[in-house]
Amino acid sequence: MAEEFNTGDMLSVYLFENQQLIENLQNIVMDQKDADGFDEDSINEIFRTMHTIKGSSGIMMFDEITKVAHRLEDIFFYLRESHPDGVPHQDLVAHVLDVADFISGEMDKLSDGGEADGDGSAILSELDTFLSEIKGEKPGTKKKEEPRETEEGPKQFYIAPETGNGSSYFKIYLTYNPDIEMASMHAYKTVFALKKIAEEVLYSPEDILTNPESSDLIVKEGFKIILRTTSGEEDIRQIVQPGYDLVKVEVYECTAKEFQMGFDAEGSEIMIDLESSVEDIERRSEQRAQGAKEEKKIAPGDFVVATKEPGKGKNLAKDRPKKTDKAAFISVDISKMDQLMDLIGELVISQSVVLQNPDLKVPGLNLDNFNKAAGQMKKISTDLQNVIMSMRMVPLTNTFQKMNRIVFDMSRKLGKDVAFEMIGDTTEVDKNIIENISDPLMHLVRNSMDHGIESNEERMAAGKKEKAKVTLTAKTESGKVFIIVSDNGKGLDREQIMAKARQQGLLEPGRAESSYSDKEIYQFITLPGFSTNKKVTEFSGRGVGMDVVVSNIQKVGGSLEIDSEPGKGSTMVLKIPLTLAIIDGIVMETGNSSFVMETSAVREFVHVTGDMMIHEPDGAESVMIRGECYPVLRLGEFYHIDDHQEDVEEGMMVIVEVDNKAICLFVDHLVGKQEIVVKPIPDYIKKVKGLSGCTQLGDGSIALIIDAAGLID
Amino acid sequence: MGEFDTQKGKYVTFQSGNEFYGLKIQYVSEIIVYQEITEIPESPEYVKGLINLRGKIIPVVDVRLRFRQEPIPYTDRTCIIVIQVNDYVVGLIVEKIAEVVEIQDENILPSPSIGKNDNSTKNKFVSGIGKVGDEVKLLLDPERLLRDEDVALMEHLNEEDSLEEE
Per-residue burial over A618-642, b = 16 or more CB atoms within 10 Å of its CB, e = otherwise: eeebbbebeeeebebbbbbebbebe
| B59 band by pLDDT with thresholds 50, 70 and 90 | very high
Are A694 and B42 a contacting pair at CB < 8 A?
A: no
Q: Please give the DSSP secondary-structure letter assigned to residue A589.
A: E
pLDDT of A9 strictly over 60: yes
Average pLDDT score over residue span A200-228:
72
pLDDT of B57 strictly over 70: yes
Q: What's the confidence (pLDDT) of residue A162?
A: 44
Q: Give the residue with greater pLDDT, A241 vs B152.
A: A241
Nearest residue on chain B to A342, alpha-carbon basis: B55
pLDDT of A605 strictly over 70: yes
Q: What's the confidence (pLDDT) of residue A599?
A: 84
Residues of B in contact with A639 (CB under 8 A): 41-42
Model confidence pLDDT, tens digit, residues A521-541:
887 777 776 765 555 455 554
Residue pair B53/B66 in contact (Cβ under 8 Å)? The answer is no
Give whole-number Cα distances, A213 to A57, A93, A205, in Å. Answer: 21, 38, 10
Residue ranges per structural domain of chain B: 2-159
Q: Give the residue with greater pLDDT, A182 vs A626.
A: A626
Q: What's the confidence (pLDDT) of residue A8?
A: 60
Residues of A contacting chain B (CB within 8 angstroms): 339, 341-346, 592-594, 638-641, 679, 681-686, 688-689, 691, 694, 696, 700-704
Residues 6+ apart with CB under 8 A from A673: A584, A585, A586, A587, A599
Q: What is the mean pLDDT of chain B?
A: 77
Give all strands (DSSP E) within A266-400, no chain letters. 393-395
Cβ neighbours around A281 below 10 Å, total? 20
Are B51 and A702 a contacting pair at CB < 8 A?
A: yes
pLDDT of A248 strictly over 60: yes
Name the residue among A268, A278, A174 with its Cα closest to residue A227: A174
| A247 band by pLDDT with thresholds 50, 70 and 90 | confident
Q: What's the confidence (pLDDT) of residue A212?
A: 64
First-residue to last-residue Cα distance in chain A: 52
Torsion on CA atoms B106, B110, B115, B120, rounded to nearest 10: 130
| B147 band by pLDDT with thresholds 50, 70 and 90 | low
First-residue to last-residue Cα distance in chain B: 56
- Fold category of B2-159 in CATH: OB fold (Dihydrolipoamide Acetyltransferase, E2P) (2.40.50)
Q: What's the confidence (pLDDT) of residue A141?
A: 40
Cβ neighbours around A376 below 10 Å, total? 10
Average pLDDT score over residue span A2-25:
70
Q: What's the confidence (pLDDT) of residue A211?
A: 67
How do beta strands A691-696 and A223-229 pair? Answer: unpaired
Q: Give the residue with greater pLDDT, A197 vs A414.
A: A414
Residue ranges per structural domain of chain A: 2-149, 168-319, 394-577, 582-712
Q: Using CA atoms, how far apart are residues A100 and A105, in angstroms rounded to an integer?
A: 8
**What sections of A559-707 are H helices per DSSP?**
635-638
Model confidence pLDDT, tens digit, residues B23-50:
988 889 999 988 888 888 888 888 888 9
pLDDT of A35 strictly over 70: yes
Give whole-number Cα distances, A280 to A132, A276, A286, A289, A309, in Å. Answer: 43, 6, 10, 14, 12
Q: Using CA atoms, how far apart are residues A333 and A84, in angstroms rounded to an integer?
A: 47
| A152 band by pLDDT with thresholds 50, 70 and 90 | very low
Residue pair A145/A135 in contact (Cβ under 8 Å)? The answer is no
Q: What's the confidence (pLDDT) of residue A262?
A: 60
Average pLDDT score over residue span A533-555:
64
Q: What's the confidence (pLDDT) of residue A533?
A: 57
Residue A40's identity, in one-letter code, is: E
Q: Classify A322 in phi/psi space as left (phi over 0), alpha (psi -120 to 50) or beta.
A: beta
| A323 band by pLDDT with thresholds 50, 70 and 90 | very low
Q: How far is B54 from chain A (nearest CA, A)?
A: 5
Write down the CATH number for the domain with range A582-712. 2.40.50.180
Q: Give the residue with greater pLDDT, A1 vs A691.
A: A691
- Fold category of A394-577 in CATH: Heat Shock Protein 90 (3.30.565)
pLDDT of A311 strictly over 60: no
Q: Which long-range contacts (CB under 8 A, 24 or more apart) does B152-161 make?
A: B152/B44, B153/A686, B153/B43, B153/B44, B153/B47, B154/A686, B156/B44, B157/A686, B160/B42
- Listing DSSP states for chain B in one string gives -HHHHHHTTEEEEEEETTEEEEEEGGGEEEEEE----B--TT--TTEEEEEEETTEEEEEEEHHHHTTPPP----TT-EEEEEEETTEEEEEEESEEEEEEE--GGGEEEPPSS--HHHHHHHTTEEEEEEETTEEEEEE-HHHHHHHHHHHHHHHHHHHHHHHH-
Q: What 3-state class would DSSP assign to A159? A: coil
Which of A351, A596, A633, A702 should one mutate to test binding to chain B, selecting the residue with the greatest count of B CBs within 10 A? A702
Nearest residue on chain B to A677, alpha-carbon basis: B55
Residue A114's identity, in one-letter code, is: G
Q: What is the mean pLDDT of chain A?
A: 75
Rounded to 5 degrees, φ, ψ at A507 are -75, 145
pLDDT of A359 strictly over 80: yes
Q: What's the confidence (pLDDT) of residue A217?
A: 72
Number of inter-chain CB pairs under 8 A, A vs B: 77
Domain A168-319 annotated CATH 3.20.20.70: no
Residue A428's identity, in one-letter code, is: E
pLDDT of A284 strictly over 70: no
Model confidence pLDDT, tens digit, residues A97-110:
888 888 888 888 88
A205 cis-preceded (ω within 30 degrees of 0): yes
Q: Give the residue with greater pLDDT, A636 vs A16.
A: A636
- Please, which residues bridge with residue A468 across strands? A418
pLDDT of B82 strictly over 90: yes
Q: What's the confidence (pLDDT) of residue A376?
A: 92
Q: What's the confidence (pLDDT) of residue A275?
A: 43
Q: How far is A622 from chain B (nearest CA, A)?
A: 21
- Listing DSSP states for B51-92 in one string gives EEETTEEEEEEEHHHHTTPPP----TT-EEEEEEETTEEEEE
- Fold category of A2-149 in CATH: Four Helix Bundle (Hemerythrin (Met), subunit A) (1.20.120)
Average pLDDT score over residue span A628-636:
89
Q: Using CA atoms, how far apart are residues A624 and A345, in angstroms rounded to an integer?
A: 43
Q: What's the confidence (pLDDT) of residue B60?
A: 92
**Rg from Cα positions in chain B:** 17
Most confident region among A43-52, A664-673, B67-76 by mean pLDDT: A664-673
Q: Give the residue with greater pLDDT, B41 vs B121.
A: B41
Q: Please give the DSSP secondary-structure letter assigned to residue A145.
A: P
